[in-house]
């Protein structure tokens, strides 16, 4: 039984500006291609100037810890609550994606490094939350990654990250001497299980942490180059075209969010196939779009801001992934008890009568306790006083959820 708590929402977009590098300062001084307006607005200072607003705009002084508190911490809470969650780092090569997602992980221990990035911090927090739940003895949780490596603490996760980072193709470029030329997708499945009144509840969530390959000014020529130009033009992002399949998926998702009915080409690349749910479905998704303030990166920065602005319009539909099953006898006993309570409450409000099997599933309440409605064989009740209605509403939730788990 899926308890079907839904969270409809748009992608959350965060812009993060990295500091100018020493090399950039020595060539062009301190002039920049962007101006921070507020913690939600940024202006591209080219011609003509363009102002953009996002959920969060983090300037170069925002620490790894602060960014984690803004973006990572709520994500862990979402996952613990059973929502799939996904975080992408997007941006041109050398703009700070790996710094954001991984940061300084040398040495394998995160706790004391101020520069460790989002992923190690997320797992530190996740395991401390899990530890507390163990401690209270009600729930057991385990985490495993895509390779089915079982991990029991944040340090185990860091070891996996170090191994993954070493596997990543790294090639020096003019922009960034440790530039990564492949996507890094770190997926973690969080499952929890607990018992309540003879019923076993299962909750699970998928957490995707993605450090995309850096986008660069497109240099391809011929048919491929033309196609890429067309895609960039359609997306309105200008010249960043490295993540072609991802961009194509995003174009269609934006159109779908605007009411169009379109096929989304998730299967055109491994990345989009793997992240299908995070991109357009059951997930709460955050993009951290990393930008460089350097004048020499001005066009790429504008392109990333335009990309992020587009992505803001994608809607997801996250659902709590929860099932309840258990001992049928225990559940029947519980239903009997609840029926008795309903009968008792009916007596209190003047309805009277035994509760029949059908009654259990025909209670409905449209939301607010004051507008409580009863459509059973006993006829209609006028609205309950608030206190009783609340009680019945809770009862209703309980009866309805547990009885529907038989189906």
Ligand X SMILES: Nc1ncnc2c1ncn2[C@@H]1O[C@H](COP(=O)(O)OP(=O)(O)OP(=O)(O)O)[C@@H](O)[C@H]1O
Which of 179, 218 has the CB closer to ligand X? 179
Q: Please tell me whether residue 176 binds ligand X under the rule CB under 6 A.
A: yes
Nearest distance in Å: CB 93, ligand X: 3
**Counts for the chain of helices (H) and strands (E), in that order:** 14, 18
Nearby residues of 82 by Cβ (< 8 Å), 6 or more positions away: 5, 203, 204, 205, 320, 321, 322
Q: Which long-range contacts (CB under 8 A, 24 or more apart) does 35-40 make?
A: none
Helix axes 118-136, 154-167, angle to 10 degrees: 150
Q: Candidates 24-32, 75-83, 97-105, 247-255: pick the segment binding ligand X (CB under 6 A).
A: 97-105
Length of the chain counted residue by residue = 407
Tokens 């009654």, located at residue: 359
Q: Please tell me whether residue 98 binds ligand X under the rule CB under 6 A.
A: yes
Cα–Cα distance, 173 to 216 (Å, whole number): 11
**According to the annotation, is 91 in a ligand binding site?**
yes
Strand order in the sheet with 41-44: 34-36, 41-44, 50-53
Member of 99, 121, 339, 396 binding ligand X (CB under 6 A)? 99
**According to the annotation, is 92 in a ligand binding site?**
yes
Q: Candidates 37-45, 174-182, 202-210, 370-378: pick the segment binding ligand X (CB under 6 A).
A: 174-182
The mark string for 211-230 relative to ligand X (x by CB under 6 A, - otherwise) is: ---x----------------
**According to the annotation, is 404 in a ligand binding site?**
no
Residue 60 main-chain phi, psi, to 5 deg: -65, -15
Q: Candidates 34-42, 178-186, 280-288, 351-359: pick the segment binding ligand X (CB under 6 A).
A: 178-186
Q: Please tell me whether residue 95 binds ligand X under the rule CB under 6 A.
A: yes
Q: Please tell me whether residue 110 binds ligand X under the rule CB under 6 A.
A: no
- To which H or E segment does residue 22 belong? helix 22-28
Q: Please tell me whether residue 96 binds ligand X under the rule CB under 6 A.
A: yes
SS3 6: strand
In the window 54-93, what residues touch ligand X (CB under 6 A)? 60, 91, 93
Q: How many residues of this chain interact with ligand X, rule: CB under 6 A? A: 17
Which of 118, 254 has the CB closer to ligand X? 118
Q: Please tell me whether residue 45 binds ligand X under the rule CB under 6 A.
A: no
Which of 178, 362 has the CB closer to ligand X? 178
Q: Please tell me whether residue 18 binds ligand X under the rule CB under 6 A.
A: yes
Which of 85, 95 has the CB closer to ligand X? 95
| Torsion over CA: 352, 357, 362, 368 (sign) | positive
Nearest distance in Å: CB 321, ligand X: 31
Member of 85, 119, 180, 184 binding ligand X (CB under 6 A)? 180
Cα–Cα distance, 317 to 6 (Å, whole number): 7
Nearest distance in Å: CB 279, ligand X: 20
The CA-atom distances, in angstroms, between 59 and each of 76, 113, 114, 341, 395 are: 23, 20, 17, 57, 49
**DSSP states of 147-209:** T--EE-SHHHHHHHHHHHHHHS-EE--SS-TTEE-S-EEEEEEEEEEEEETTEEEEEEEEEEE
Q: Please tell me whether residue 369 binds ligand X under the rule CB under 6 A.
A: no
Cα–Cα distance, 156 to 154 (Å, whole number): 5
Q: Please tell me whether residue 120 binds ligand X under the rule CB under 6 A.
A: no
Cα–Cα distance, 218 to 142 (Å, whole number): 43
Member of 97, 121, 201, 206 binding ligand X (CB under 6 A)? 97
Member of 45, 84, 119, 179 binding ligand X (CB under 6 A)? 179
Nearest distance in Å: CB 13, ligand X: 17
Which of 18, 32 has the CB closer to ligand X? 18
Question: Do 95 and 49 meet the contact criterion of CB atoms below 8 Å apart?
Answer: no
Q: Please tell me whether residue 304 binds ligand X under the rule CB under 6 A.
A: no
**According to the annotation, is 97 in a ligand binding site?**
yes
**According to the annotation, is 236 in a ligand binding site?**
no
- Which residues does the annotation place in the binding site? 91-98
- Which residues does the annotation place in the binding site for ATP? 91-98
User: Which residues of this protein are in contact with ligand X, per CB under 6 A?
Assistant: 18-19, 60, 91, 93-99, 176, 178-180, 214, 290
């Amino acid at each position: 039984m899926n308890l079907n708590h839904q969270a409809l929402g748009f992608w959350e977009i965060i812009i993060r500006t990295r500091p100018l590098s020493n090399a950039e300062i020595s060539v062009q001084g301190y002039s920049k291609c962007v101006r921070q307006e507020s913690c939600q607005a940024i202006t591209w200072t080219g011609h003509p100037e363009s102002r953009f607003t996002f959920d969060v705009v983090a300037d170069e002084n925002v620490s790894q810890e602060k960014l984690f508190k803004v973006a990572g911490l709520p994500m862990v809470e979402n996952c613990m609550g059973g929502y799939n969650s996904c975080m992408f780092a997007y941006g041109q090569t050398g703009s700070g994606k790996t710094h954001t997602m991984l940061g300084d992980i040398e040495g394998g221990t995160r706790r004391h490094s101020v520069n460790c990035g989002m992923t190690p911090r997320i797992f530190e927090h996740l395991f401390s939350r899990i530890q507390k739940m163990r401690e209270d003895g009600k729930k057991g949780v385990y985490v495993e990654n895509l390779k089915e490596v079982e991990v029991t603490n944040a340090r185990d996760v860091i070891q996996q990250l170090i191994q993954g980072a070493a596997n990543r193709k790294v090639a020096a470029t003019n922009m960034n001497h440790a530039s990564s030329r492949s996507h890094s997708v770190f997926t973690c499945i969080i499952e929890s299980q607990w018992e309540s009144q003879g019923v076993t509840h299962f909750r699970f969530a998928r957490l995707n942490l993605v450090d995309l390959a850096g986008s660069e000014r497109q240099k391809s020529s011929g048919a491929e180059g033309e196609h890429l130009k067309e895609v960039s033009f359609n997306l309105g992002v200008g010249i960043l075209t490295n993540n072609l399949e991802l961009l194509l998926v995003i174009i269609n998702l934006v159109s779908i969010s605007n009411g169009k009915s379109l096929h989304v080409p998730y299967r055109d690349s491994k990345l989009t196939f793997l992240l299908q749910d995070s991109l357009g479905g059951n997930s709460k998704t955050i993009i951290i779009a990393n930008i460089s303030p350097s004048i020499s990166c001005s066009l790429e920065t504008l392109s990333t801001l335009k990309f992020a602005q587009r992505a803001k319009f994608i809607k997801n539909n996250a659902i709590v992934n929860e099932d309840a099953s258990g001992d049928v006898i225990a559940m029947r006993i519980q239903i009997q008890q609840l029926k008795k309570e309903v009968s008792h409450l009916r007596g209190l409000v003047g309805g009277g009568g035994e509760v029949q099997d059908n009654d259990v599933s025909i209670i409905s309440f449209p939301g607010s306790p004051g507008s409580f409605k009863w459509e059973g064989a006993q006829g209609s009740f006028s609205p309950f006083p608030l206190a009783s209605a609340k009680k019945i509403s809770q009862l209703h939730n309980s009866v309805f959820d547990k009885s529907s788990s038989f189906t």
